[in-house]
Amino acid sequence: MERWRFMSSLAALIIVKKVAFAWYITPPRHNNEWKELVQLLVQTFDSPRRNGIDKLRWSLHEQALTEANTFRQYTQTAKRMRGKKYNLFVAKELGRVIGMAGVGINNGARSEKRPTIGLICVEEAFRQKGGVAADLVTHCEHLVRNVWNETVLFAEVEPTISAALQFFRLEDFHSVDNQTMNVNVRRGLRMEKMPDLLLLKKLRIDTRRVRFDLNGVVGLPLLLLFVSTTKQPIVEEHQHFQKRGSSFIRVST
């Protein structure tokens, strides 16, 4: 009897530990999720890395302005991009946003349309645990291959972010003849043009059980929703979502 109680307690502890590190992928659905993804973006890409006067000015003035501008940009883009081929995904753990990714159709050379991951970031505490960024990329791949019926997926990455380049190469992305693209990048309250390295992945037809319902409208699928404790999906659920947009072109994994 005591042995059974011990084993039951151990099993419960293992389950609790797994749940504590579970996450799922979904489109942002309400105001709080939009605010949390904006805070994650600003903290990841815009907060000053140095101490002193920059940190003080940031906390007193620039952070609030940057978050307000970013929130306004996202909500406006969501309205403008509705019904078009652009989607935003967020990763959530225990109801809190811990990561995000944006994928859309960009214009390439000779005016061809190019499905591209232009934004991905994960909260610092979850980067070493692995799997969150990979699940976000997997959702982008499912959407591009199974809904948009595209056979390739691009990613635009700042050449100076070695961790991001390494991550995408592990996900089977390869450089396109060292081709770069000039993109608009926000640095705090300023916009700058920066060269991004163009990466490419050829997509295979997914043989796993993935169902999409276009409802007669391109870009409005039933989204595959993962609940993950590792890089592999554990629970699948489907729900409707509408497209969201972003003009950010930076990557942090």
pLDDT score of 151: 94
Q: Quick check: 151 and 203 in contact, CB under 8 A? A: yes
pLDDT tens digits along 119-146: 899 998 888 776 999 999 999 999 999 9
Q: Which residues of the chain have pLDDT under 50?
A: 4, 6-20, 207, 209-250
| SS3 state of residue 3 | helix
pLDDT tens digits along 33-57: 999 999 998 888 877 766 777 777 7
Q: Which domains does the chain have, with CATH numbers?
A: 23-252 (3.40.630.30)
pLDDT score of 65: 85
pLDDT score of 42: 87
Q: CA 181, 183, 189: angle at the middle one, nearest 5?
A: 160
pLDDT score of 188: 53
Q: Quick check: 156 and 183 in contact, CB under 8 A? A: yes
Reading the block at residue 37, the tokens are: 């993804």
Q: How far apart are CA 199 and CA 136, in angstroms?
A: 17
pLDDT score of 183: 62
Q: How far apart are CA 225 and CA 121, in angstroms?
A: 18
